Amino acid sequence: MKNIKTLRALAGSNMQNAFLVMGILLVCAVVGALRPTVFLTWDNINSMCLQISEVGLLTLGMMLAFLIGGIDLSVVSNAVLSATISGSVMLELADTSTGLAIAAAIVVALAVSIVCGFVNGLLIAQIKLPAILATLGTNSLFRGIATGLTGGSTLSGYPMAFSLISNGHIFGIYYAFLIFIVAAALISLYLNRLRGGFLASMTGSNEKAAYYSGVSTKRVIISVHTLVGLIAGVAGIVMMSRSNSINPDYGTSYLLQTILVCVVAGVNINGGRTRISGVALSLVLMQMISTSFNILLSQYTGANFFKNFAWGFLLLLIMVLNFYSGRVRTRQSGRLST
């Protein structure tokens, strides 16, 4: 009896991942069969990986914000702001020394994004603004500063070497994707092995309880938001180097996408639970869906938007599936316990 219970619990916790893997296999099978010469080729997989890495980094940031029971609506704007400022610095220094310019750009991007994340943390922990409001405001502010500094125009003309940060490859794998993998691994380490990650998930699952058991929740919230900022800075470097340019209006659609990926991945938006494996799987699934619709429906003009429908539908479907599987589980476990 006990074994069955453990098995069920195990199946329950990985239910979401099982759905996602099934989804990925389904897409692979269908599209692979329909367009065998295009979909499952090294080039296509590689280009999907490149696209995943940018959204993926931002999603990791959003996931951490969800972990402590908050949300970060400013994560994309933060990335864009740090990219624009570091881009301007790089353009200033480009004439003197390419190496210096790139190094300075990276340092500046990370510094700006850390400051932005820290400001978010202060607003939320110190002034006690609800995270959704604080980051709604800073979202406007960060993007506004980026627009103000550039006058709304695109910055470009960076040293070619800078674009290698994303577009260079080793063994045929883009650096951008490797950066994403390393970031995901580090965050996974932070969440599962380090004290900070443990305190963060404690704070997220019940802030009051964490506070009364001696956790300095203020410090946890500020440090997690600073970390989210840092990740946004890395994302900013990757997005700027991918096209070797940055526009202050870049990536406005990414924000909702990152939330979508988190929810599909089974991250608890009320805090306390994250799933790096789920985030990785759902990123792959989302990217596959959008790529395959682009391939399959390329003769229709609205193909790009059909993926919007598919994403929205997937989100709702997974929620409904979870609802029913959760209900079946509670009913069964109720029967077992009697």
Partner 1 sequence: MKKNLFRVETILVMAVLLMLLLIGLVNPAALNQNTLFNMLRSFITVGIFGMGVLVVLVSGGMDVSFTYIAPVAAYLAVRILVAADYSGSVIVPFLLAALFGAAMGAANGLLIARYDFPSMIVTLGTGAAFQGLTVFFVGATHITALPGGMLDMSRTNLATVQFADGSQGGINITIVITVAVIILVWFLLNKTIWGRGLYALGGSKTSAYRVGFPVGRLQFSLYTLVGCLAGITGVIYMSLNRQATPHLMVGTELDVIAAVVLGGASVFGGRGTVMGAVLGIALVTILNNSLILIGIPTQWQKAAIGVVILTGTALPIVLGKLKRCLK
Closer by beta carbon to partner 1, 213 or else 301: 301
Closer residue to partner 1 (CB): 149 or 178 = 149
Residue 225 sits in the site that holds partner 1 (CB under 8 A): no
| Contact flag: residue 139 with partner 1 (CB under 8 A) | yes
Out of 66, 177, 180, 311, point to the residue binding partner 1 (CB under 8 A): 311
Answer for which of 116, 123, 155, 184 binds partner 1 (CB under 8 A) is 123
In the list 24, 94, 115, 315, the residue contacting partner 1 (rule: CB under 8 A) is: 315
Residue 256 near partner 1 by CB under 8 A:
yes
Contact 199, 220 (CB under 8 A): yes
Judged by beta carbon, residue 94 or residue 303, the one nearer partner 1 is: 303
199 near 210, Cβ under 8 Å? yes
Long-range contacts of 133-141 (CB under 8 A, 24+ apart): 135/65, 135/70, 135/71, 135/72, 135/73, 135/74, 135/75, 136/73, 136/74, 138/74, 138/77, 138/78, 139/73, 139/74, 139/76, 139/77, 139/255, 140/77, 141/74, 141/77
Count of residues interacting with partner 1 (CB under 8 A): 49
Considering beta carbons, is residue 94 or 136 the nearer one to partner 1? 136
Report whether 198 contacts 188 (CB < 8 A): no
Token output for 37 = 């010469």
Which residue stretches of 206-253 are H helix?
207-212, 217-243
Q: Which residues bind partner 1 (CB under 8 A)?
A: 73, 123, 127-130, 132-134, 136-145, 147-148, 150-152, 252, 256, 259-260, 263, 269, 297, 300-303, 305-313, 315-316, 319-320, 323
